[in-house]
Structure 1
Amino acid sequence: MNFERVLITPEAERHARAQHLLAGWPDLPVEKVSGIPEVQDWLKRNYPDPIGQGKRTLLLDVYSGEFLKPCPCTQSHINCGYWILNPVLGCPFDCSYCVLQEYLGPSPITVRLNWEDMLSEVSDYLTNRRARSSLRSRSYFGGGGLDSCPDLPFRIGTGELSDSLALEPWLGLAPALINFFAGQEGAVFELKTKSDRVECLEGLDHQGKTVVSWSVNPEEMIAREEQGAATLEARLQAAKRVAGWGYKVGFHFDPILDEPGAGEAYEEVVNKIFATVAPEQVAWTSLGALRFNPRLAPIVRERFSNSRILLGEFITGLDGKLRYLRFIRQPLLRRISGAIRQAAPQAWLYLCMETESVCQEVLPLSVI
């Protein structure tokens, strides 16, 4: 986390949280801007790599829209029922495959300061959801665990448009969310990260309502495709620490990258995970093969000359995204899921953004 420029909107300047956060960057001048569009224009006009510069630019803002939204799922693909919470936009890590490069474009890392509005929105939604508890999302989960419970937990996470821990402990958002969800019924909160910054989670009374999850890949792929992120070993040691503090942990093999030797490499990752963390400490594991909007491809070519992600064999799916051919991704998904099943037979395991037919081939169990 190495910011070079700190920006603030007029609404954020009047917010009580602003001065507390700005104290973390005493040597950087604070500049006033009207909002994200002005910053995006400035990035595009002044830098050869506006996306990279955006990762070194911090914007404090106040948001008037909805913080909580359902995770987008392609029609004809299985929906896992996940909801995303967006108090932060953007990530300081620089992964070649990151869809935010195309989705957000050249943008600052934006922290929305009005957390009280966000928590009120979540609280109201959960209250209303409990009132209509007979409604359940259709989702697919292979294996034992939470899928066998009569009341499927409502999962909410912050790791979709940002990394949940990359700005900690400076931001202080993760502890605030953990404390909030500790008092909520019928919901499980997930922090999803590629970092090892877990110190702020120690000693919190999470009441078993928070899962801390890591995106994982083989070490060689991390070094090449996930610039600035923690090593696999550092992530696993962080998971071990967190599990020791009583949290359940999760692992997301997403995106799975197909390249020579990938099957063996991912099996090794599975073995390392369960040599570090006991199966009963793992809340869930997900698998998702690489998929991306075609508009991301020229960005990757320009920004990541050493990346290998565009060397795969792709088709255009029903959602317009490029994804590996089925005969490529399905055996890889089956091989990784088989390794997980062998190490943790009762693990809650599911596929992300896959068709029902692929789910049934890889995890031949029930559709909920």
Structure 2
Amino acid sequence: MAGYGSGLGSGSMAASPVGPAESVGLVVDRPDDGHDERTLNLIAGQRDQDESQPEAPACDSPEELVGMFTEEKPTFVRVSEPGAPMDCVWEGASDHIGPTETVTPLVDRLSGTTTCAQIALCAGVLLWGTWRLRGLTQVEHNLELAEAAFAYCVDWRYVDVDAGPKGRAPHQPPEQSAMMQLNRFMRAALDHDRFWDSFFQPVFETFHSANIVHHILEPQDRPGFDRWLDQAAERIKLHFPKPADKYREYETFDSDEAYNQFVAPHRGIAVPAQLLNPDFDFEPQQRKKLMAEFLAGLNPDKNRYLRKPEAMLELGFAGTPYQY
């Protein structure tokens, strides 16, 4: 895949609001074509920030925890030998992400989706990386996080992103470092304050995760991952494209309600996990049925990131949890 580590021009970095009462982060200054793709603080200046944060503790997942993605490897994840020793050079958690101040061809290919569609794509990338590392380090929490990501897009109240291991990714050993860094990007994509009511999507979270996964895959598996990522991105953009609206500053809206109505189509609707499988013949009319079946099959007792129904209702969830 062209674009790993290669830049296409240089994006100047500017600040842009993403919602009411939200602190501003770094953005790629191309708002009209949907490139917020903000490099989070965990990326920009990460080495300095990492020094002040404790390392994440090891995951203590019970082996019996299973879910949608933990029972067997998804068919679209074509890792030939999960758990094979990592032969690639691993210099540290922040050394194998993509460029942070340029819009590369890969960033352009990943862009143009709704937020929910981008989260689905990021979850797919996480699954590739997690199955690559399964057997080398504890990965159950990331399998659960990928599953929870699809529920999050139905309603943010389904997911508590802080329920699993947190903290900065250690630079070594490589397996744990890669696993925790992928976890951090997925949790960043699920940042309710940053992306739920926002014009922008977590494209850089997918981009940096893809760079890590490409790096840690065995050489024979990299072309398959590259093809899958391109196909999945195109397929998702076909069915769940970002609206063509021009970016507007939050202050230009008369009310929070008006702003939220404007950004809601950019968030979009929940995307079924089946869309990530290029062999699945997806039709838009299947979406509600697939999401209903997915939610009905979830078990918050077997996924630490999923909230129990009573907790969701306390947060203001409308309706019956785990029904679509």
The TM-score bracket by the shorter chain reads under 0.3
Structure number having the greater helix percentage: 2
TM-score, length-scaled by structure 1: 0.24
TM-score, length-scaled by structure 2: 0.26
- Kindly name which structure, 1 or 2, has the bigger radius of gyration based on alpha carbons: 1
Structure number having the greater strand percentage: 1
The structure whose RCO (Cα within 8 Å, separation 6+) is larger is 2
